[in-house]
């Protein structure tokens, strides 16, 4: 087994790309990443995506994107783990290079969620839940997360407004990220008055979906400096799972898979939560950010929100999160979000995050979540020495 | 990098399983494979599937199947490469174990094609083609393959009836395979009189779809004998791709991806076509079997059909194919077919294929094809010494 580094990154802005197809977006991000790495071909392309079959009547994205990105012939396939697809794809890309069987692997995530004629957004997202026991009975994806927050508020006697800073922080950081979808700040008042979506989750507790694509190029660490002055090294790459349906979980508020997956990652990297300089959290909902912080050991159970309330999650706080806007404001094109996190973390660890730069960031963690918490992927990245 | 072996296999019969859900099928095959290997847990479960999102409104199969198979918590995700999904999943499972990062990986394919209310079978299959430039214009999947055969017949001056034995051979072998869908023989007359589906492909040129699930358990070769007396070793595992749309291919009849993928596999295993004792070909259509044989070096261009006409593809021929019925008669539950091939090849190489046993089989090859030839996965397996 050998060490693996990220030698190139690419992305397109998260937006409503009415003028671009799924393939356009993926090709653009892939080519951007290849250009950044200075490579003209690769051994493999792993595409991560959740909903192209349901929304666009298009499966078989591996061969499709490889061909149009100028990579015809190479190994290509698609990896899916609901909204955790991006993270899951990186795990396999990492293993491919670590094994010594592949040298250069591109992992490209893509999701096209506007301009889809075959299914509604909500119908698509519901496929991340248990079709037989959850979604077919009418529980939407927001509703599932609302149930979790209801219980959280009851169990820990916390009011919804304690989560306000998760939304505010994401929006604040998105303003200076040219690839973010919602580039405007929001006030605490706006959060408090936000219309209800599924009680107690309001519009400003929920992240927006969108169209997007993000890509990384992986190479063996010993060759990384041939391609870039600033490789970023993958120190840990771990997946854990839990029951897909909420009612099948042993505990509703503990995010067991986040706990397991972060513990595996800490162990692999030989670090603990106190060593992490940045945490790109999967803030699909403010409540998800809150319980993730707890599950990963950054806060005690019932206290994740205190990190937000006390300002620790800001760019100059002790644990910056959502540094480029997070899912809340950069946007959440579901099957590729995990790769936006990795691209952004790479920008931070290279010192190329512009106005969003976290000072002296050396070790970053990103977590990609599938469904209401059934698949959780954790990566730990390190800046070059 | 370390060598990888198959230490367990499991399957359910390919059938119209009106009484079983997608998860039931996958759980049953997974548990069968685990029982065969004598293991109670694993590091990872890779699920291969093409159409659960489109047909069942269910993505996120990794976590779902892991949980219901008694593997809650482990790494799990889904891999898709159209009808080549099963083969593609095995490539990643192989890499995971080869890398040393995982020891026991289960690769389970599953597809549920009957009892689907959300989309018609043809609509689902069409997602393997180029949605924007092929399927949205009304070209069905059979039609695409019919175009290839039209050209083949014109180019090489071959009549359709020269392909008869591909259908007859599959049906003959399926009779004694308890897991096959169409367990009856067909005559040459029946083939000749078969009703047209898309000219020149008749009903008996086309394989049937179906519901099914097949699974394998992978382990490091050095530990294989702890679990089984008859491990089967993976000597090569290779993917290659081509343009997804027929009109984008440089050559229509050469199956470039099959050529590349088989060459990569031969090189990795250090063997040539002459060394292969059994070839599990992707006979989705008789014409696909014919061109695959040519692309993999078993016959000259334009002559693949001679292997059938001269009887070489029978169980006692020089290159037995479709030994348990092939796609033609075992059936083709698309996203899992590549794993049925691997399970059947393992039965053969263990000497456990019953009445279908190929004598002295030591080296077997299986090829899993996505779309009309855009993704082609080749595996070479070897019997234990």
Burial B287-296 (b: 16+ CB within 10 A, else e): bbbbbbbbbb
Chain A's closest residue to B56, CA to CA, is: A131
pLDDT of A193: 97
- Is the CB of A127 less than 8 angstroms away from the CB of B82? no
Cβ separation of B54 and A53 shorter than 8 Å?
yes
Please give the helix or strand (H or E) that residue A305 lies within, else none: helix A304-309
Radius of gyration over every alpha carbon of chain B, rounded to an integer in angstroms: 19
Question: What average pLDDT does this structure show over A220-231?
Answer: 98
A347 vs A329: CA distance, rounded Å: 17
Burial of B124 (0-12, 13-18, 19+ CB in 10 A): buried
Residues of A in contact with B141 (CB under 8 A): none
Instruction: Give the pLDDT mean for B177-187.
Output: 98
State the Cα angle at B265 between B264 and B269, rounded to 5°.
120
User: Can B4-119+210-224 and B124-205+235-383 be said to share one CATH topology?
Assistant: yes
Torsion over CA: A319, A241, B38, B7 (sign): negative
CB nearest B66 (choices: A54, A132, A241): A241
The CATH code for residues B4-119+210-224 is 3.40.47.10
B59 vs A50, A238, A256: nearest CB: A50
Region of residue B325 (left: phi > 0; alpha: psi -120 to 50; beta: else): left
Could you state, in order of their start, the residue ranges of all structural domains in chain A? 4-117+210-224, 121-205+232-383
Other beta carbons within 10 angstroms of residue B189's beta carbon come to 9
Give, rounded to a whole angstrom, the gap between the first and last alpha carbons of chain A.
21
A129 touches chain B (CB under 8 A): yes
**A 30-59 → B contacts, CB under 8 A:** 44, 50-51, 53-54, 56-59
B289-321 per-position pLDDT tens digit: 999 999 999 999 999 999 999 999 999 999 999
Contacts of B246 (CB under 8 A, 6+ apart): B134, B144, B147, B148, B252, B372
Task: Indicate which of B75, B96, B257, B372 best probes the interface with A, i.e. most A CBs within 10 Å of its own CB.
Answer: B75
User: A17, A282, A332, A379: which is the annotated catalytic residue?
Assistant: A332
Distance between alpha carbon B349 and the CA centroid of its chain, in Å?
A: 17
Nearest CA in chain A to B100: A1
Chain A CB within 8 Å of residue B117 CB: no
The pLDDT of residue A235 is 98
- What mean pLDDT is reported for chain A? 97
CA A24 to chain B, closest CA, distance in angstroms equals 12
User: Does the pLDDT value for residue B117 go beyond 80?
Assistant: no
**What is the rounded (10 degree) CA torsion for A340, A344, A347, A351?**
180
A370 in contact with B at a CB cutoff of 8 Å? yes
| Chain A residue nearest residue B21, CA to CA | A132
Cβ within 8 Å, pair A95-B82: no
Which residue among B50, B72, B82 places its CB closest to the CB of A241? B72
Q: What is the pLDDT of residue A171?
A: 98
pLDDT digits (tens, 9 = 90+) for A286-322: 999 999 999 999 999 999 999 999 999 999 999 999 9
Distance from CA of B250 to the nearest CA of A (A): 11
Fold of A4-117+210-224: Peroxisomal Thiolase; Chain A, domain 1 (3.40.47)
Q: How many CB atoms lie within 10 A of CB B338?
A: 32
Spell out the residues 6+ positions from residue A363 whose beta carbon is closer than 8 angstroms to its own. A235, A269, A271, A275, A276, A277, A278, A380, A381, A382, A383
Which pLDDT score, from 0 to 100, does residue A75 have? 98
Kindly state the average pLDDT of the residues A95-110.
97
For residue B325, give the nearest of B174, B198, B200 by alpha carbon.
B174
Q: Which of A99, A132, A242 has its CB closest to that of B73?
A: A242
Amino acid B119: pLDDT: 83
Among A248-252, A264-268, B103-107, B222-226, the least confident range? A248-252
pLDDT given at position A159 = 96
Which residue among B77, B102, B244 places its CB closest to the CB of A67? B244
Determine contact, residues A234/A94, Cβ cutoff 8 Å. yes
Q: What is the pLDDT of residue A261?
A: 98
A73 to chain B: closest CA residue = B241
Catalytic-residue membership of A290: no
Measured between CB atoms, does B159 come within 8 Å of chain A? no
Which among B153, B173, B155 is positioned nearest to B163, based on CA atoms? Answer: B153
Q: Which residues on chain B are in Cβ contact (under 8 Å) with A132?
A: 21, 23, 58
Helix (H, G, I), strand (E, B) or coil at A10: strand
CB within 8 Å: A243 and B72: yes
* Nearest CB neighbour to B98, from listed A66, A101, A371: A101
A1, A63, A240 ranked by CB distance to B371: nearest: A63
For residues B119 and B147, give the distance between their C-alpha atoms in angstroms, rounded to a whole number. Answer: 25
| Nearest chain B CA: its distance from A100 CA (Å) | 6
Tell if the CB–CB gap between A91 and B75 is shorter than 8 Å. yes
Per-residue pLDDT, averaged over B110-122, amounts to: 89
| A66 to chain B: closest CA residue | B241
pLDDT digits (tens, 9 = 90+) for B202-241: 999 999 999 999 999 999 999 999 999 999 999 999 999 9
Of A5, A54, A7, A45, the residue nearest A26 (C-alpha): A45
Q: Which of A60, A98, A129 is the closest to B82 by Cβ?
A: A60
CA angle B22, B144, B215 (to 5 degrees): 30
What's the Cα-to-Cα distance from B313 to each of A301, B156, B163, B217, B293, rounded to whole Å?
Answer: 64, 21, 12, 29, 11
Residue A206 known to be catalytic: no
CA–CA gap between residue B49 and residue A341 (Å, rounded): 27
Q: How many CA atoms lie within 13 A of A342 on its CB side?
A: 44
Instruction: Please say if the pLDDT value at position A120 is more than 90.
Output: no
Share of residues in chain B with pLDDT > 70 (%): 100
- Out of B83, B206, B207, B290, pick the active-site residue: B83
As a whole number of angstroms, the distance between CA A129 and CA A348 comes to: 33
Which superfamily, per CATH, for A121-205+232-383? Thiolase/Chalcone synthase (3.40.47.10)
Interchain contact, A101 vs B123, CB within 8 Å: no
Predicted TM-score (pTM) of the model is: 0.98
Q: Which residues of B touch A20 (CB under 8 A)?
A: none
In chain B, what is the greatest distance between 2 CA atoms, to the nearest angstrom?
A: 57
Contact across the interface for A60 and B100, Cβ inside 8 Å: no
Percentage, residues of chain A above pLDDT 70:
100
Question: Confidence class of residue B35 from pLDDT cuts 50, 70 and 90?
Answer: very high
Q: Using alpha carbons, select from A42, A60, A46 the residue that is nearest to residue A94.
A: A46
Name the residue in chain B with its Cα closest to that of A97.
B99
Q: How far apart are CA A35 and CA A200, in angstroms?
A: 45
DSSP letter for B158, please. Answer: -
Partners of B378 in beta bridges: B238, B367
How far is residue B148 from each of residues A12, B141, B259, B369, measured CA to CA in Å?
37, 11, 17, 15
Token pair in block for residue A208: 């927006």
In the predicted model, is pLDDT for residue A133 greater than 80? Answer: yes
Note whether A248 contacts B67, CB cutoff 8 Å: yes
Select from A62, A90, A118 the residue whose CB has the most chain B CBs within 10 Å, as the one to mutate to test that interface. A62
pLDDT (tens digit per residue) in A46-73: 999 999 999 999 999 999 999 999 999 9
By CA distance, what is A240's nearest residue in B?
B75
Report helix, strand and coil shares of chain A as percent, to nearest 5: 40, 20, 40
Q: What's the pLDDT at B297? A: 98
Residue whose C-alpha is closest to residue B328's, from B134, B185, B232: B185
Residue of A nearest to B257 (CA): A73
Q: Is residue B35 within 8 Å of residue B247, measured between CB atoms? A: no
- For the stretch B327-377, pLDDT in tens is 999 999 999 999 999 999 999 999 999 999 999 999 999 999 999 999 999
Angle ∠(B304,B309,B315) on CA atoms, nearest 5: 90
Element spanning B147, H or E: helix B141-156
Confidence at residue A368, expressed as pLDDT on a 0 to 100 scale = 98
Taking the Cβ of residue A211 and every Cβ of chain B, the question of whether any pair is shorter than 8 Å is answered with no
CA atoms within 13 A on the CB side of B33: 38
In 3-state terms chain B splits into helix, strand, coil percentages (rounded to 5) of 40, 20, 40
β-bridge partners, A202: A196
| Residue A277 · residue A235 · CB < 8 Å | no
pLDDT bucket at B77, cuts 50 / 70 / 90: very high
Q: How far is A214 from chain B (nearest CA, A)?
A: 19
* B-interface mutation test, from A41, A54, A64, A112, most B Cβ less than 10 A away: A64
Q: State the virtual CA torsion across B69, B74, B78, B79 in degrees, nearest 10.
A: -120
pLDDT in tens, A140-199: 999 999 999 999 999 999 999 999 999 999 999 999 999 999 999 999 999 999 999 999
Strand B375-383 with B363-370, pairing = antiparallel
Strand, coil or helix: B89: helix
CATH topology of domain B124-205+235-383: Peroxisomal Thiolase; Chain A, domain 1 (3.40.47)
């Amino acid at each position: 087994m050998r060490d693996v580094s990220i030698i190139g990154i690419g992305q397109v802005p998260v937006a409503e790309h009415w003028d671009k197809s799924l393939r356009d977006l993926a090709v653009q991000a892939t080519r951007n990443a290849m250009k950044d790495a200075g490579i003209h071909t690769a051994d493999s392309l792993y595409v991560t995506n959740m909903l192209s079959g349901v929304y666009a009547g298009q499966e078989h994205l591996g061969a499709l994107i490889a061909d149009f990105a100028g990579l015809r012939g190479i190994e290509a396939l698609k990896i899916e783990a609901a909204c955790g697809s991006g993270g899951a794809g990186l795990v396999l890309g990492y293993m491919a290079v670590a094994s010594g069987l592949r040298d250069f692997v591109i992992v490209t995530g893509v999701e096209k969620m506007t301009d889809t004629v075959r299914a509604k957004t909500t119908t698509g997202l519901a496929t991340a839940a248990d079709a037989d026991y959850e979604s077919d009975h009418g529980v939407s994806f927001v509703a599932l997360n609302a149930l979790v927050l209801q219980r959280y508020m009851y169990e820990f006697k916390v009011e919804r407004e304690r989560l306000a800073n998760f939304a505010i922080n994401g929006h604040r950081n998105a303003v200076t990220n040219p690839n973010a979808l919602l580039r405007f700040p929001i006030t605490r008042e706006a959060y408090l008055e936000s219309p209800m979506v599924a009680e107690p989750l309001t519009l400003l507790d929920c992240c927006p979906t969108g169209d997007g694509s993000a890509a990384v190029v992986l190479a063996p660490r010993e060759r990384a400096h041939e391609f870039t002055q600033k490789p970023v090294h993958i120190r840990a790459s771990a997946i854990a799972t839990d029951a897909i349906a909420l009612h099948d979980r042993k505990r509703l508020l503990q995010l067991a898979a986040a706990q397991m997956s972060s513990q595996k990652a800490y162990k692999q990297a030989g670090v603990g939560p106190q060593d992490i300089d940045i945490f790109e959290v999967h803030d699909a909902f403010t409540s998800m950010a809150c319980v993730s912080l707890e599950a990963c050991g950054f806060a005690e159970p019932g206290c994740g929100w205190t990190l937000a309330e006390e300002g620790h999650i800001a760019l100059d706080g002790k644990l910056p999160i959502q540094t480029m806007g997070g899912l809340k404001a950069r946007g959440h094109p579901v099957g590729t979000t995990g790769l936006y996190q990795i691209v952004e973390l790479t920008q931070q660890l290279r010192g190329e995050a512009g106005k969003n730069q976290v000072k002296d960031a050396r070790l970053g963690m990103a977590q990609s979540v599938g469904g209401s918490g059934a698949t959780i992927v954790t990566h730990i990245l390190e800046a070059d020495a």
